[in-house]
Structure 1
């Protein structure tokens, strides 16, 4: 359904970011990334306590390709 949008000021968009207003059929990524992090790595906020006696982050990845971006133009 079409929409009327007022002014939009975009200061910055990352190298693989998407700025979208209105209808869209398909938004496809043009880059991929893989992140490995241990327990409690992405927790944000006040008064957070993480108790972790034994933490292992396995970074062995036997996949040849996780998600291809060849046809996303």
Structure 2
């Protein structure tokens, strides 16, 4: 279905994706994985995190989660 896009000004795009009009096929150009323990990504001024015993499983039995080899 056709679309009409009016005047647009983009000053900067950092780590994002911008699509205009119709999109037939979208695929990721990069992929990453992060493993961390509980309470690791907390942000704020006054954080009190009581976790006790913690264990993070970082094994990946299927190896490939999101392939990007065929993307141009």
TM-score (normalizing by structure 1): 0.64
Equivalent pairs counted in the alignment come to: 71
- In structure 2, runs of 5+ residues without a counterpart are none
Distance 1:43 1:25, change over 3 A: farther
Residue-by-residue CA offset, 1:12-42 (whole Å, 9 max, x unaligned):
433xx42223331222112211110111223
TM-score (normalizing by structure 2): 0.65
1:21 is aligned to: 20
